[in-house]
Homo-oligomer: A and B are copies of this chain.
Amino acid sequence: MRAEPAAKAREQKSGATGSRTSLAQRFRAYLGHHRQNARDSLLRLLSAPVQSAMTLLVIAIALALPGMLYMGVINIQALSGSIDTSARMTVFLQPDADKADIDALMSRLQAGTGLASVTYISRDQALEQFRESSGFGEVLTLLDENPLPPVLILEPESIADADAGFLETLQGELETNPLVDDVVLDMRWLQRLQGLMAISQRLVLAMAAILGLGVLLVMGNTIRLAIENRREEILVVKLIGGTNGYVRRPFLYSGFWFGLLGGLLAWLMVWAGIFLIREPVAGLASLYQNPFSLIGPDLRQLSLLLAVGALLGLAGSWLAVAQLLHKIEPE
């Protein structure tokens, strides 16, 4: 306990009345506070490693699940690209059709619009393909004579519903051609594909909804609970003259770090998950003579996860602090 000289008392008085700190000083202090908060909140996170790790893991899992879903969608897109999925029209020609006539028909078709490709398959080629793709190859070797006619495969430029009409018109036109025996518009697989798509769409939507909700809730709730433990801090800082922004800052940084690190961890989890099933998928694909191999998460996914994690962390802590701030406000 020291006696305070009068001079000091005078300084104090002027200090109590004047504006005390210059704007530049204030701004420097403001930046300093940001820097310090960023560091402190990270240190605080590291100083209770077990508990922080638990919270981080929860956040990471919450982020990893939609991440995996996203990778699933990407891979299915890639897979369906590698599978032959265009609608096709099969034109069965007369077995004894002249090759020159066929060539003429093909050039006419190729000159027209709406078709992406016109492919000729001779009788021998047809038999070969049939043997390979149908699984009934063994049966065909028993046949003395090739029962298959030559075939033209027409692929339209798009498989949109609007083009179904075009295909049907073309079908009618071709059926009247003397070269043509029959025209088959294979739409059944389209129906199947659409059925599959309907399921996967709903599944993806349902999963995305539940996971999106989950991520929001898990992050929000985790941060809320973590913050409620520091309720006293909010109260005291408010009582001492801290603005809402000042009160929020350390929590925003905490949320930011949790989200960012959670995003990083989530990326690693997704990567590990893909790694785990990459081999059997490749094995399966090779059975179908498909060179498909799973696409793993790359840097774009990483930055996406980091960004989403950090944003959700910020949003979660903002909301949680706002709630607490609202509660301790008088009136």
Binding site for B on A (CB under 8 A): 51, 54-55, 57-58, 61-62, 64-65, 90, 92, 130, 134-136, 138-139, 142-143, 147-149, 181-182, 184, 186, 188-189, 191-192, 195-196, 198-199, 202-203, 206, 210, 213-214, 217-218, 220-222, 224-226, 228-229, 269, 273, 276-277, 280-281, 283-284, 287-288
Contacts and interface: CB of A to CB of B under 8 A. Distances in A.
Given A225-B226, A226-B225, A142 B199 contact: no
A276 B142 contact: no
A273 to B, nearest CB: 5
B229 A225 contact: yes
Given A199-B281, A202-B277, A218-B218, 4 more contacts: A92-B142, A195-B280, A206-B277, A222-B225
A195 B287 CA distance: 8
Contacts of A225: 222, 225-226, 228-229
A61 B192 contact: no
A294 B150 CA distance: 43
B182 A142 contact: yes
B54 A195 contact: no
A269 B142 contact: no
Contacts of A62: 214
Contacts of A288: 192
Main secondary structure on chain A at its contact with chain B? helix
Given A130-B136, A182-B142, A57 B287 contact: no
A284 B135 contact: no
A92 B143 CA distance: 12
Given A229-B229, A269-B210, A287-B191, A147 B143 contact: yes
18 contacts: A54-B217, A54-B220, A55-B221, A57-B213, A58-B217, A58-B221, A61-B214, A62-B214, A65-B65, A92-B138, A135-B188, A138-B182, A139-B148, A142-B181, A192-B288, A202-B276, A222-B225, A225-B226
Contact of A198 (B147, B196, B280): B280
Find the residue from A57, A61, A188, A228 having the highest chain B CB count within 10 A: A61
Contacts of A199: 277, 280-281, 284
Contacts of A188: 135, 287
A265 to B, nearest CB: 12
Contacts of A143: 147
Nearest to A51: B224
Contacts of A135: 186, 188-189
Given A92-B142, A210-B64, A283 B195 contact: yes
A214 B225 CA distance: 18
A80 B91 CA distance: 36
Contacts of A130: 136
